[in-house]
Amino acid sequence: MMDLNLSVEKLKNVGARNLPRLHKLGIKTLRDLLWHLPARYDDYSQIVPIADLALDQKATIQGTVVKIDSRRIFPRRLVIIEAIIEDDSGSIKAVWFNQPYIATTLTEGTRVSLAGAIKLDKRGLYLASPSYEKLHQDDYLAYHLTHTHGLIPTYPETEGVTSKYLRFLIKPILSELNIPDHLSEESRTRNGLIGLTTALQKIHYPLTLAEADQARERLAFDDLLLFQIKALLERRKINQLKSPAIPFDKELVTDLIKHLPFELTKDQKISAWEILKDLGRSYPMNRLMEGDVGSGKTVVALIAAVQAAKAGYQTVFMAPTEVLACQHMETIRNLIAHTNIEVGLLTSSTAWTTYSLGKKTEIKNRIARGDTKIIIGTHALIQKDVAFDKLALVVIDEQHRFGVNQRAALIKHSSSELVPHLLSMTATPIPRTLALTIYGDLDISIIKEKPKNRQKIITRIVPPSGRQEAHQFIRSEVKAGRQVFVICPRIELAVQTPDNAEQSTRGKAKSQMKFLLADMKAVQEEYKKLSELVFPDLKVAMLHGKMKPKEKNEIMSRFKEGFADILVSTSVIEVGIDIPNATIMMIENADHFGLAQLHQFRGRIGRGEHQSTCLLFTSGAEKTSNQRLKALVATDDGFLLAEKDMAIRGPGEFFGTGQSGLPDLAMAALANVELIKKSRAEARLILTEDQNLTKHPELKQQLLRFQSIIHFE
Ligand code: ADP
Ligand code: MG
């Protein structure tokens, strides 16, 4: 049995020089090497008779070296090797530069296999710097030479580590590969998967592309399975914790709903019910509520918060920005004005409760004493320095994931020993099966239905020729009393960042700075253009990332009060803001944004009684972006758009690898819903039969390895 943990150092062909280079590619052990998967394959599966070769073709030929010479060209000190290769059909020249040893390797009479591109010079067709390997009598017809015949793998490379070198390392190991398979025979049959050894052999050296796919599927399944097992174990851990059980109070909830200024949608009701049921249990809720922008997630969370408050417990709402925190404060205060529940807002610039605008320390004291039952603030602030009395529920807005550690940190701040329930809310609509994979340890509530009073937003693509007309339209809307958002993409600034920017804090600060500068510059330019040239007669305001939060807040709230007609910003207003009088969303260079983001922008409008319009300004006619923009015009269903976005960009881009912690292979497999389902079922089965994976030692070891590369945040 081979030891997959064997250091690559111990391999025959790895020397001191190559070791650090392999490490740079993340290859430290035999396992790393075997799981360093090809990025693509070059198809050298046909051996072409020399007489049939054509210009620019990539081909493999096999024949005999009939002549080989090396000559030196001055003054460039170039060594040229020229060989004539002959097969039954004819002969051709092969040319290499600066590889003098070839002349001594491929001596006259040697039988060789050559793969490369066919080029043309004055004297006819020739093979330009082909890969080569010697043929021995018996493997003349053998499949899979290492470099020149079959589907030849090309790997992610780094300086000094070429695909050729990797093939040279990997190929010999494959033929004697002998490793345990952590999936049992039954499990493989059940899921239609090939064995691990075969999968590794075939992913590196497939005979056909279909074989490569089969191998990839098996390896992706492994990653998905481990991810699911990890999620289930995580959940098991959480279920063993103790939380305050807050019983469902029918009278209270009915009364609250009766006092709402609108009727809840069916999805809102279902979600509220799911959450209230979770609250009634004595172990922590771990739930994600997904709902498109404007679907009304806040009020659903509020119902839970009110029930907690009436039972004597506190709830904290965490928003990503101050503006959103303020908005939550306002919404919540209005919706529960008829109750005597104390609500408090805590941001870096303000602190107040429903009853007083006080000093921060006073408000914090009220929170610590338990007087304030619902606390609203930014993620950063709340996590840093707020002490609670009896915290029962944490609501997190616009953040997909809230870590176990973050939750633990909050518990430390509470005088109660009990773990708070957790509700995350996101406006990024992820189809349920995918969400179950990415967030396998969470329960999921989905709000698909929009409130009835919502207007349909008109969406238009505006090419350069349509600008003037669009500006005219904007002007007439403003004259009718409406307001306009203008979004422009960040201008990329060419600021030199140090090599290891991500690692050093200085680098981090610097790239953050770069980001803010780019933000500011873009907004200032657009502001200047609109206020001086396009709309000199209207009031234009701007908002950019370099402004202090306080300043941003002020501009936002003054815009809400109507002090400006047009607000120019970059994506800083992306999430959550609610200004019913704003009816136009104009997006400059809309083709520079992703589909999901555009949909978020559009969600900023259409919140009031007036007809709203989203104008997508484009500069040209790039194809994929047009595809995106057209999808946006065609539908306002966020879930549908998310699926399209994923289809256009691929799951990796869509989720961002860092975000999910899923390895690339599993990420790519996210489009394969069947495979996800299978891996989920298998994970459950394995854990039901074998709680602590004692009967699955290989799997357990894999899991430990897997966990070390997964971010537990
Ligand atoms: P999001 O899901 O984007 O966070 P919000 O919770 O901010 O949405 O709700 C957007 C607006 O819609 C708020 O002003 C809220 O009071 C209102 N709203 C919520 N639910 C309904 C409903 N069922 N009918 C009408 N308006 C609603
Ligand atoms: Mg919201």
pTM of the model: 0.73
CB contact at 8 A, 412 and 263: no
Instruction: Supply the pLDDT for residue 142.
Output: 46
Instruction: Supply the pLDDT for residue 643.
Output: 78
Number of domains making up the chain: 4
* Locus of tokens 């080569």: 132
**Domain co-membership, 35 together with 148:** no
Instruction: Supply the pLDDT for residue 516.
Output: 73
**Domain co-membership, 35 together with 48:** no
**Domain co-membership, 627 together with 583:** yes
Ligand nearest to the CA of 264: 1
**Domain co-membership, 22 together with 105:** no
**Domain co-membership, 473 together with 597:** yes
Instruction: Supply the pLDDT for residue 416.
Output: 67
Binding site membership of 453 for ligand 1 (Cβ less than 6 Å): yes
Write the CATH number for 262: 3.40.50.300
On the 0-12 / 13-18 / 19+ scale of CB atoms within 10 A, 682 is: buried
**Domain co-membership, 582 together with 610:** yes
Report the b/e string of 439-460 with b at 16+ CB within 10 A. Answer: bbbbbbbbbebbeeeeeebebe
Q: Is residue 372 part of a domain?
A: yes
Q: Is residue 513 part of a domain?
A: yes
> Which letter does DSSP use for residue 489 in this model?
P
Instruction: Supply the pLDDT for residue 503.
Output: 45
Ligand 1: distance of its center to the CA of 239 in Å? 32
The type of residue at 192 is G
Q: Is residue 613 part of a domain?
A: yes
Handedness of CA 550, 555, 560, 561 (dihedral sign): positive
Residue 66, H or E segment: strand 58-73
Alpha carbon distance 635, 474 (integer Å): 23
Residue 281: Cβ within 10 Å count:
14
Residue 443, C-beta contacts closer than 8 angstroms, at least 6 positions apart: 274, 278, 285, 286, 287, 288
> Which letter does DSSP use for residue 388 in this model?
B
Per-residue pLDDT tens digits for 149-169: 788 899 988 888 899 899 989
Ligand 1: distance of its center to the CA of 303 in Å? 13
End-to-end CA distance of the chain: 35
Binding site membership of 427 for ligand 1 (Cβ less than 6 Å): yes
The type of residue at 593 is F
Instruction: Supply the pLDDT for residue 512.
Output: 67
- Nearest Cα to Cα of residue 111 among 179, 45, 47: 47
Give residues whose Cβ lies within 5 Å of ion ligand 2: 576
Alpha carbon distance 320, 380 (integer Å): 8
Instruction: Supply the pLDDT for residue 573.
Output: 58
CB contact at 8 A, 292 and 446: no
> What would the 3-class secondary structure string for 623-651 be?
HHHHHHHHHHHHCCCHHHHHHHHHHHHCH
Binding site membership of 446 for ligand 1 (Cβ less than 6 Å): no
Tell which of 604, 635, 666 closes a domain: 635
**Domain co-membership, 175 together with 71:** no
Binding site membership of 298 for ligand 1 (Cβ less than 6 Å): yes
- What three-state secondary structure class fits 85? strand
Instruction: Supply the pLDDT for residue 415.
Output: 62
- The range of the structural domain enclosing residue 8 comes to 1-39+169-179
**Domain co-membership, 174 together with 70:** no
Q: Is residue 709 part of a domain?
A: no
**Domain co-membership, 415 together with 478:** no
**Domain co-membership, 35 together with 46:** no
Question: Between helices 549-561 and 322-335, what is the axis angle to 10°?
Answer: 50
**Domain co-membership, 468 together with 607:** yes
Ordered DSSP codes for 243-303:
-------HHHHHHHHHHSSSPPPHHHHHHHHHHHHHHTSSS--EEEEEE-TTS-HHHHHHH
Q: Could you tell me where the DSSP H helices lie in 135-249?
A: 163-175, 185-191, 196-204, 209-239
**Domain co-membership, 6 together with 47:** no
**Stretches in the chain below the pLDDT threshold 70:** 137-145, 383, 399-416, 432-433, 438, 492-512, 515, 572-577, 621-625, 651-670, 706-713
Binding site membership of 297 for ligand 1 (Cβ less than 6 Å): yes
Q: Is residue 107 part of a domain?
A: yes
